[in-house]
């Protein structure tokens, strides 16, 4: 006689312990029984199995870039070396003075100079690399320099980025948010079935991922030079997602003591 296999099922919350494990007969389909094994009685009290609830939680967090870098290039080609140097240094002094008046700290400004001789002339080029933490101030300064200086001064498009450690911090935030979501879900499940949520038994981060910009965004295929400042910020925005699995202990509701 062949035994029918019962379909497998997935238990989400187990609130009642498995009963009648030591009974002598096991009931089969059709009302038939098979003899079971007798187990010797133990004098030790039977331990109540731990009741558990298994939940998963997900979360996604994002962070806009907190730094931007702009490079201002000044160059001059003259027949005399002194004239080339004077032309560049005059505009370079004006740029650095303007940055100080606008409140840009000196540690956020780096100046490099390059001087070389051509066939019949001298060429000097200087770069001012500026790091901004306030994007509104960055735009005001760039607009001011474009207005006051001639076309020989080239101002690059801002490059937005994150300070070191930002990605790791974002990953932690996503994981903590996912754990909190799973905990809230477990609390609601236990409350629904009239139980009390206990301590966590297992906490496992099953999946984590990070990406920059917007997934499948139509602007991502455009050239960086054609993007607006706000579009550049969105493209440099970091995202992190986390998925966790947590097993909690389930406790019965405590009965209130009656006061006489």
What is the structure's pLDDT at 119? Answer: 84
What is the pLDDT at residue 259?
56
The pLDDT of residue 215 is 57
Q: Judge if 112 and 184 occupy the same domain.
A: no
- List of residues 6+ apart from 230 with CB closer than 8 A: none
Q: What is the pLDDT of residues 197-242, one digit of tens each?
A: 999 999 999 999 999 987 555 444 455 667 888 999 999 999 999 9
145-181 pLDDT, tens digit per residue, is 998 888 878 999 999 999 989 999 999 999 999 999 9
148 and 78 together in one domain = yes
Residue 210 in any domain: the answer is yes
Q: Are residues 155 and 169 in the same domain?
A: no
11 vs 130, more confident: 130
Which helix or strand (DSSP H or E) is residue 143 part of? helix 135-148
Residues 122 and 181 both lie in one domain: no
Question: Per DSSP, what are the bridge partners of residue 211?
Answer: 239
Containing domain of residue 107, as a range? 67-161
Give yes or no: residues 132 and 243 share one domain: no
Instruction: State residue 213's pLDDT score.
Output: 85
Q: Tell me which of 92 and 14 has the higher pLDDT.
A: 92
CA–CA gap between residue 57 and residue 200 (Å, rounded):
14
The answer on 157 and 72 residing in a single domain is: yes
Residue 6, domain member (yes or no): no
pLDDT, residue 217, reads 54
The answer to the question of residue 157 being in a domain is yes
pLDDT reported for residue 149: 87
Number of domains in the chain: 2
Asked if residue 6 has pLDDT above 50, the reply is no
Confidence category of residue 9, pLDDT binned at 50, 70, 90: very low
Q: How far is residue 181 from each of residues 56, 92, 186, measured CA to CA in Å?
A: 8, 54, 9
Do 128 and 193 lie in one domain? The reply is no
Query: Residue 188: which CATH number?
Result: 3.30.110.170
> Whose structure tokens read 């070396």?
81
Given this model, what pLDDT does residue 22 score?
Answer: 44
Residues 55 and 183 in one domain: yes
Predicted confidence at residue 48, as pLDDT, reads 63
pTM score, whole prediction: 0.68
15 or 105: which leads in pLDDT: 105
**CATH code of residue 117:** 3.30.70.100
Helices 135-148 + 81-101 axis angle, to 10: 140
**Positive or negative CA dihedral for 140, 99, 106, 131?**
positive
Q: What pLDDT shows up at residue 252?
A: 77
Helix (H, G, I), strand (E, B) or coil at 80: coil
* In a shared domain, residues 107 and 152: yes
pLDDT by residue (tens digit) across 94-148?
Answer: 999 999 999 999 999 999 999 998 888 999 999 999 999 999 999 999 999 998 8
């Amino acid at each position: 006689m062949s035994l029918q296999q019962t379909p497998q099922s997935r238990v989400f919350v187990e609130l009642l312990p498995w009963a009648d494990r030591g009974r002598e007969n096991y009931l089969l389909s059709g009302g038939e029984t098979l003899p079971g094994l007798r187990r010797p009685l133990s004098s030790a009290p039977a331990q109540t199995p731990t009741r558990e609830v298994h939940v998963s939680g997900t979360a996604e967090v994002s962070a806009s870039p907190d730094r931007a870098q702009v490079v201002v290039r000044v160059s001059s080609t003259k027949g005399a070396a002194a004239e080339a140097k004077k032309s560049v240094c005059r505009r370079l002094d004006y740029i650095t003075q303007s940055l100080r008046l606008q409140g840009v700290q000196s540690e956020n400004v780096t100046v490099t100079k390059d001087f070389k001789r051509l066939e019949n002339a001298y060429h000097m080029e200087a770069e001012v690399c500026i790091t901004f933490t306030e994007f509104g101030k960055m735009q005001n300064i760039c607009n001011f320099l474009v207005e006051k200086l001639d076309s020989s001064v080239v101002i690059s498009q801002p490059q937005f980025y994150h300070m070191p450690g930002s990605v790791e911090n974002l990953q932690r935030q996503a994981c903590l948010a996912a754990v909190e979501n799973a905990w809230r879900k477990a609390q609601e499940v236990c409350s629904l079935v009239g139980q009390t949520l206990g301590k966590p038994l297992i906490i496992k981060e099953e999946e984590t991922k990070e990406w920059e910009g917007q997934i499948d965004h139509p602007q991502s295929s455009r050239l960086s030079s054609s993007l607006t400042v706000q579009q550049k910020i969105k493209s440099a925005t970091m995202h992190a997602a986390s998925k966790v699995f947590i097993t909690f202990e389930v406790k019965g509701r405590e009965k209130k003591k009656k006061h006489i």
